[in-house]
Amino acid sequence: MHPVLKTVLERLALGLATLFVVSVIIFSSIELLPGDFGQAILGQSATEETVAAFRQELGLDRPAYVRYFEWVGGAIQGDLGTSFSGRNVSGTDRSRAVVDLIAPRLWNTLFLAGLTAAIAVPIALFLGITTALYRNSVYDRSINTATLTTISFPEFFVAYILILLLSSLYPVFPSLANVDDTTPLVERIYRTALPALTLTLVIVAHMMRMTRAAIINLLASPYIQMARLSGASQTEVILKHALPNAWAPIATVIAFNLAYLVVGVVVVEVVFVYPGVGQLMVDAVTSRDIPVVQGCALIFAMTYILLNLIADIIGIVTNPRLLHPK
């Protein structure tokens, strides 16, 4: 078997094992949360018999390991269970499937992440490469100071500053990102401009600094010095010699930050009341809707693991030592 294929299969197996461990952690963490959903719905005045009957109706009276394997088995088939919302004491059940609740929210989150990535990735690569080329210059120090300042601020602080500047003092964009399925594309982009700008300012700093570090590390390599001595221009040195070997660390940084865009948007979605998976998860935690919380957490974990696997595979495929084994 080719070393590249063997290594890729090993990474895929490791990713599946990681996802299994994460699913156990998600289920166990939610099980260890204090309080009881049945008691929260029925109120403090409910008798123990009523709470027990309600828990039996929801299936919460069964052992935890039984419910875990049922949940994992359903998740493999695309069924994340049924939301507890809509259930009440009268016996009527207006609850919805968790997949139906997550699907439109996931599309909104992916749209926001995609819009942010389309802006942030080219800017970060450009700034990372140019600051590496002009290292220790005024330009390099100015960009590094700006990015360090951005990194030091939490997302919600950046979001509120942008709301103050671009929505309150200078009303350019709306402060609330209310979108739905009927929102036209141009209107959707306009309404999500502030959340996308907030995330862009946060992740550009990380990607730029890691790209700069990767390029500087490669520019000190002997083969780069040889390329310069052979008469290659600065552009040729970067595009033909440095970048092909820098794709692995750069791809890892980009994938890590794209995973953050999907997983770490919870705070930003809450600030701008954006109808994404993060906002749905916060609402589900508030109402103690266990299946929705588990489903959102599993989606976040799968996205994070998948994007990191893609970055790992890109690093393997672009490794000349594996592509051309002795």
HSE, CB side, 13 Å, CA atoms: give it for residue 274: 32
CA–CA dist 271, 261 (Å, integer): 15
Query: Residues near 156 by Cβ (< 8 Å), separated by ≥ 6?
Result: 267, 268, 271
Q: 0.85 exceeded by the pTM?
A: no
Greater model confidence, 194 or 82: 194
Q: Please enumerate in sequence order all residues whose Cβ is within 8 A of that of 240, keeping only pairs 6 or more positions apart, or say none.
A: 227, 232
The pair of three-digit structure tokens given for residue 219, joined into one six-digit string: 């520019």
Domain coordinates in residue numbering, the chain: 104-289
Percent of the chain topping pLDDT 70: 89
Q: Report the pLDDT value the prediction gives residue 281, as an integer from 0 to 100.
A: 87
Provide the pLDDT confidence category of residue 91 given band limits of 50, 70 and 90.
very low
DSSP assignment, residue 93?
Answer: B
Span 135-159, average pLDDT: 86
* CA 22 to centroid of chain Cα atoms: 15
- Three-class SS state of 82: strand
* pLDDT in the model for residue 151: 81
Quote the mean pLDDT of the chain: 80
**pLDDT (tens digit per residue) in 253-279:** 777 777 777 777 788 888 888 888 888
pLDDT digits (tens, 9 = 90+) for 38-57: 666 666 666 777 777 777 77
CATH, domain range 104-289:
1.10.3720.10
Say if residue 195's pLDDT is above 80.
yes
Q: Assign 30 a pLDDT band (cuts: 50, 70, 90).
A: confident
Q: Which of the pair, 237 or 319, is modelled with greater confidence?
A: 237
Residues 6+ apart with CB under 8 A from 112: 192, 195, 196, 199, 261, 265, 269, 274, 276
pLDDT tens readout for residues 204-231: 888 888 888 878 877 777 888 788 788 7
The sign one gets for the Cα dihedral 203, 205, 209, 212 is positive
